[in-house]
């Protein structure tokens, strides 16, 4: 058999396993489209690696193959730059999920990834901006009184006022928001829904947009129920929402690293600094575990340490 035919056989075997797992995640587990896209991208690289070393099928994958693949991710090659520890760990999650699934289904005798540990990630606390910076950002989103500026202000007010992920915000439909009651229904990871209060600033911004701005966009579209619309009347994409934030941050002269997730971090941090219970913040953020939310308490403790070090006469 020629090398080309052998490679095709390997690729087909691995790809069948990948397709089976992704279908399982999509149909039976209800994993989000963005997560599936990320897994598919990571497993494409894993598949190419297996083909390059001549592994016949998933049943032939060993722990050594997984470890060497992880090392290659960190080192990079002619076609790929080296991956940071967090990115390599994310890719390993996809590979591990695939082979654990195959083991559970009885397609392979054992999971070759079970004993492979991801590279340790650097300890980084979430970045938050100050309340003053938040206010500057929100003011910078309101340039003039155009439909676009009304939409942009409402979008950023919702992101900061509810702690929504960017995908949750652009995924909102008109029926998901009760402005009078001051509540919004967000759909998070795995299709889990939660109700989050809307503050007065977010309610005012949304009302202004819905009354005076949205109709201008919707008149150009096909009747989508989405709240946030683009110039063609279709649902605003995540990329366009990012562009809205970047433009406002630039006008407000805020750091270039600002992201929609920065507003989510700021939402959580400011709530905790204001005395909110960590379990309440957990519910508002849609975290499955309070452990995930507790990282924000480290941010506030660090701030307390800095204030103490600067203010107390016997701190040093």
What is the model's pLDDT at position 301?
A: 57
What are the pLDDT digits (tens) for 6-22?
A: 344 444 678 899 999 99
Burial class (CB within 10 angstroms; exposed 0-12, middle 13-18, buried 19+) of 159: buried
What is the model's pLDDT at position 3?
A: 39
| C-beta of residue 251 within 8 angstroms of C-beta of residue 137 | no
| C-beta of residue 39 within 8 angstroms of C-beta of residue 94 | yes
What is the model's pLDDT at position 47?
A: 93
Catalytic residue selected from 99, 151, 264, 270: 264
Q: Catalytic: 165? A: yes
Could you give the CA distance from residue 257 to residue 121 in angstroms, rounded to a whole number? 20
What is the model's pLDDT at position 5?
A: 35
What is the model's pLDDT at position 11?
A: 46
Q: Catalytic: 261? A: yes
Architecture of domain 131-257: Orthogonal Bundle (1.10)
Query: Is beta strand 193-197 parallel, antiparallel or unpaired with respect to 177-178?
Result: unpaired
What is the model's pLDDT at position 290?
A: 72
Instruction: Name the 3-class secondary structure at 184.
Output: strand
What is the model's pLDDT at position 211?
A: 95
Query: Which sequence spans correspond to the domains of the chain?
Result: 3-104, 131-257
What crossing angle do the helices spanning 131-141 and 260-273 adopt, rounded to 10°? 140
Q: Catalytic: 189? A: yes
Catalytic residue selected from 127, 185, 189, 246: 189
| C-beta of residue 236 within 8 angstroms of C-beta of residue 226 | yes
Catalytic residue selected from 153, 235, 270, 287: 287
What are the pLDDT digits (tens) for 126-138?
A: 678 999 999 999 9
Catalytic residue selected from 45, 65, 165, 235: 165
Cα distances (Å, whole numbers) of residue 260 to 47, 242, 267: 33, 7, 11
| C-beta of residue 111 within 8 angstroms of C-beta of residue 103 | yes
Catalytic residue selected from 16, 261, 279, 305: 261
Cα distances (Å, whole numbers) of residue 185 to 38, 177, 229: 26, 6, 18
Burial class (CB within 10 angstroms; exposed 0-12, middle 13-18, buried 19+) of 247: middle
Which parts of the chain register pLDDT below 70?
Answer: 1-12, 121-126, 256, 292, 297-316
């Amino acid at each position: 058999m020629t090398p080309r035919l052998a490679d095709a056989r390997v690729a087909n075997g691995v790809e069948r396993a990948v397709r089976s797992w992704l279908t399982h995640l999509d149909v039976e587990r209800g994993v989000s489209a963005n997560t599936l896209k990320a897994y598919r991208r990571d497993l494409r690289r894993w598949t190419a690696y297996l083909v390059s070393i001549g592994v016949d099928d998933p049943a032939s994958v060993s722990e050594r193959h997984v470890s060497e693949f992880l090392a290659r991710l960190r080192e990079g090659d002619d076609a790929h730059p080296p991956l940071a520890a967090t990115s390599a760990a994310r890719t390993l999650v996809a590979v591990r999920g695939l082979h654990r699934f195959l083991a559970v289904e009885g397609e392979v005798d054992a999971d070759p990834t079970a004993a492979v540990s991801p590279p340790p990630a650097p300890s980084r606390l979430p970045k938050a901006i100050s309340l003053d910076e938040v206010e500057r950002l929100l003011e910078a989103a309101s340039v003039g009184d155009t439909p676009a500026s009304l939409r942009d202000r409402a979008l950023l007010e919702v992101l900061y006022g509810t702690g929504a992920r960017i995908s949750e915000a652009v995924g909102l439909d008109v029926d998901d928001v009760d402005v009078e009651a001051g509540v919004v229904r967000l759909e998070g990871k795995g299709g889990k829904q939660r109700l989050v209060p809307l503050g007065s600033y977010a309610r005012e911004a949304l009302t202004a947009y819905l009354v005076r701005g949205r109709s201008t966009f919707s008149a150009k579209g096909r009747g989508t129920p989405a709240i946030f619309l683009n110039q063609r009347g279709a649902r605003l994409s995540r990329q366009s929402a990012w562009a809205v934030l970047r433009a406002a941050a630039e006008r407000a002269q805020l750091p270039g690293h600002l992201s929609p997730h920065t507003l989510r971090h700021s939402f959580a941090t400011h709530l905790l600094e204001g005395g909110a219970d960590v379990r309440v913040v957990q519910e508002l953020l849609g975290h499955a575990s309070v452990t995930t939310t507790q990282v924000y308490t480290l941010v506030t403790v660090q701030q307390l340490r800095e204030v103490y070090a600067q203010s107390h006469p016997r701190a040093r």
